[in-house]
Structure 1
Amino acid sequence: MLLQGFANRQERADLNSTNLSDIALNRIHDAIYLVDSQLRIKYVNDKACQLMGYSRKEFSQLQFSTLDRELRDIDVVALWWKLSVRPEGITFTSHHTCRDDELIPVEVSSSSYITEGEPHILCVVHDVRELRRKEHQQRLREKQMNTVVENSPDLISRFDLNMRCVYANPAVQSWFGRSERELQQWQLTESVPLGDVGLNFFKLMSKTLVDEQGAESELTLERHGKKRVLHVRCVPEYNLQGKIVSVLAVGRDITRVRQTEDELRAAHQQLRELTRNQEMAREVERKQLARDIHDELGQHLTSLRTGLSLLSMRADEGSTVVQTQLEGLMNLVDSTIQVVRDVSTRLRPNVLNLGLIPALEWLRDQFMKNGGCRCILIAPDEHTVQLDEASLTAAFRVVQESLTNAARHASASNIYIFVKPQPDALVIEVVDNGKGFQVNRVQKNAFGLQGIQERGRMLNGDATITSAPGKGTRIKLTFPLSAPHNSQTEKR
Structure 2
Amino acid sequence: MDQSTLQLVILVVLLVLFLLAIIVFVLFSVFMKRKNSLLREQIEAEKRFEKAIAETQIEIREETLRNISWELHDNIGQLLTLAKIKAQNIEGGEEMLEVAETIGTGLNELRALSKSINPEAINGQSLIKSLEMEVARFNRLKFLSAEYELLGDPVVIDSQAEIVLFRIVQEFITNTMKHSKAANLKLSVHFKADSLEIIAHDDGVGFDSEKVVKNGIGLSNIDKRANLINAHVRINSIPGAGTQLKLIYPLD
TM-score bin (small chain): 0.5 to 0.7
Residue equivalent to 2:51: 272
Q: How many residues align?
A: 225
SS of the equivalent of 1:367 reads helix
Q: Secondary structure at the match of 1:361?
A: helix
Which one of 143, 164, 168 corresponds to residue 394 of structure 1?
Answer: 164
Cα gap change, 1:227 to 1:371, in 2 (>3 Å): farther
Query: 1:427–1:478: 8 Å Cα contact kept in structure 2?
Result: yes
Q: Deviation at 1:260?
A: 4.8
Instruction: From the two aligned structures, give the one with the greater helix fraction.
Output: 2
2:145 pairs with 367, 370, 374, which one?
A: 374
After TM superposition, the structure 1 = structure 2 runs for residues 179-328 of structure 1, keeping only pairs within 5 Å, are: 182=17, 223=27, 226-228=30-32, 255=35, 259-260=38-39, 263-284=42-63, 286-287=65-66, 290-291=69-70, 294=73, 296-297=74-75
Cα separation, 1, equivalents of 2:154 and 2:78: 38
Any conservation in 1 of the 2:206–2:237 contact (CA below 8 Å)?
Answer: yes
Instruction: Return closer, same or farther for 1:303/1:396 CA change in 2, 3 Å cut-off.
Output: closer
Going from structure 1 to structure 2, the CA distance change for 1:385 and 1:417 (only over 3 Å counts) comes to farther
State how far apart, in whole Å, the 1-side matches of 2:49 and 2:81 are. Answer: 48
Distance in 1 between the 2:134 and 2:167 partners?
A: 10
Select the structure with the greater relative contact order (CA < 8 A; seq sep ≥ 6): 2
Q: Which secondary structure state, in structure 1, belongs to the residue aligned with residue 210 of structure 2?
A: helix
Unaligned runs of 5+ in 2: 1-12
- Whether 1:416 aligns to 2:186 is yes
The sequence identity of aligned pairs, in percent, is 23
* TM-score w.r.t. length of structure 1: 0.37
User: Do the aligned residues in 1 keep the contact of 2:151 with 2:188 (CA within 8 Å)?
Assistant: no
Alignment pair present for 1:363 and 2:167: no
1:427 is aligned, of 187, 191, 197, to 197
Q: Which runs of 5+ in 1 are unaligned?
A: 1-177, 192-220, 230-253, 314-319, 483-492
What code does the residue aligned with 1:273 have?
Answer: A
> Any idea what SS the aligned residue of 1:354 has?
coil
TM-score (norm 2): 0.65
CA distance in 1, matches of 2:81, 2:173: 37
One-letter amino acid matched to 2:148: L
Aligned-partner Cα distance in 2 for 1:299–1:408? 24
Which one of the candidate residues 236, 247, 250 is aligned to 1:466? Answer: 236
- Which amino acid is 1:276 matched to? E
Greater C-alpha radius of gyration: 1
SS at match of 2:59: helix
The CA deviation at 1:385 is: 4.3
Whether 2:176 is the aligned partner of 1:406: answer: yes
Flag the 1:358–1:308 CA change in 2: closer, same or farther, 3 A.
same
Q: CA shift at 1:272, angstroms?
A: 1.7
475, 482, 485: which one pairs with 2:245?
Answer: 475
SS in 2 for 1:399: helix
What secondary structure sits across from 1:228 in the alignment? Answer: helix
AA aligned to 2:48 is Q
* Offset at residue 379 of structure 1 (A): 0.9
How far the C-alpha of 1:454 sits from its partner, in A, is 1.6
Q: 1:440 to 1:307 in 2, by over 3 A?
A: closer
Equivalent residue, structure 2, for 1:13:
none
Offset at residue 269 of structure 1 (A) = 3.0
Alpha-carbon distance in 2 for matches of 1:425, 1:379: 14
